[in-house]
């Protein structure tokens, strides 16, 4: 099997085992992680790019961290309701690919 065939098969297997879902959620915290500056020690989760994270609690009780852009991070307030669109693994229940939207 060619390398591209392996890639297509792996992609199909990854996406076949998940379900797209949408839940209402509440912002419970926000986290800003600055970009790593050369010559300084790395902090936890730090990369060479700035990162903005929002922790949410969905109406089903599950909590998740969602990466967002700077504009949305600044606009969202703790306690605010959002819509979370995400994929959930059918076998593991793992949540991934979260996208947040203001109501």
Higher pLDDT, 1 or 40: 40
pLDDT at 11: 62
* Radius of gyration over every alpha carbon of the chain, rounded to an integer in angstroms: 17
pTM comes to 0.76
CA dist., res. 5 & res. 12, Å (int): 11
- 57 or 16, higher pLDDT: 57
Domains and CATH numbers, the chain: 18-36+45-102 (2.40.50.660)
Q: What is the mean pLDDT of residues 53-81?
A: 97
Q: pLDDT per residue over 26-64, tens digit each?
A: 999 999 998 988 877 777 778 889 999 999 999 999 999
The predicted structure's pLDDT at residue 71: 97
pLDDT(15) > 80? no
**What is the 8-class DSSP label of residue 40?**
S
């Amino acid at each position: 099997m060619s390398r591209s065939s392996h890639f297509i098969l792996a992609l199909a297997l990854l996406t076949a085992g998940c379900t797209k879902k949408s839940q209402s959620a509440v912002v419970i915290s926000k986290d800003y992680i600055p970009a790593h500056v050369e010559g300084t020690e790395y902090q936890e989760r730090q990369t060479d790019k700035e990162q903005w994270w929002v922790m949410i609690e969905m109406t089903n009780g599950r909590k998740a961290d969602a990466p967002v852009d700077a504009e949305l991070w600044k606009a969202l307030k703790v306690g605010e309701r959002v819509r979370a669109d995400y994929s959930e693994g059918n076998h593991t229940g793992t949540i991934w690919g979260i996208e947040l939207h203001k109501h």
